[in-house]
Amino acid sequence: MEKIRILVVDDHTLFRRGLIALISQASDFEVIGEAGDAIEALRLCKSLKPDVILLDNHLPGASGIQSLPDIFHASPDSTVIMLTVSEDEADLIQALQNGAQGYLLKTSEKDELLLGIRKAFDGESVISKELTHKLVSAFKTGTKKDGKPSNTSLAATLSPREIDTVRLIAVGSSNKEIARQLGIAETTVKIHVQHILRKLNLTSRVQVAVFANAEGMIS
**Which tens digits make up the pLDDT trace of 82-140?**
999 988 888 888 888 788 888 999 999 999 999 999 988 887 778 887 777 776 666 55
Q: What is the pLDDT, as a whole number, of residue 16?
A: 95
Label residue 146 by pLDDT band (50, 70, 90): very low
Q: What is the pLDDT, as a whole number, of residue 41?
A: 95
Round to whole Å and give the CA distance between 45 and 193. 26
What digits encode the pLDDT tens for the residues 185-202?
Answer: 988 998 898 888 888 877
Lowest mean pLDDT among 42-46, 124-128, 165-169: 124-128
Bigger pLDDT: 161 vs 206: 161
Res 152 pLDDT > 60: no
Round to whole Å and give the CA distance between 41 and 60. 12
What digits encode the pLDDT tens for the residues 68-81?
Answer: 999 999 998 899 99
Q: What is the pLDDT, as a whole number, of residue 174?
A: 85
Residues 194/166, Cβ–Cβ less than 8 Å: no
What mean pLDDT comes out for the span 19-36? 95
Q: What is the pLDDT, as a whole number, of residue 143?
A: 37
- pTM of the predicted model, to two decimals? 0.71
Lowest mean pLDDT among 23-32, 125-134, 149-158: 149-158
Angle (nearest 5°) at CA 89 between 206 and 204: 20
Q: What percent of the chain has pLDDT above 90?
A: 48
Taking the CA atoms of residue 195, residue 196, residue 202 and residue 204 in that order, the dihedral angle to the nearest 10 degrees is: -90
Q: What is the pLDDT, as a whole number, of residue 190?
A: 87
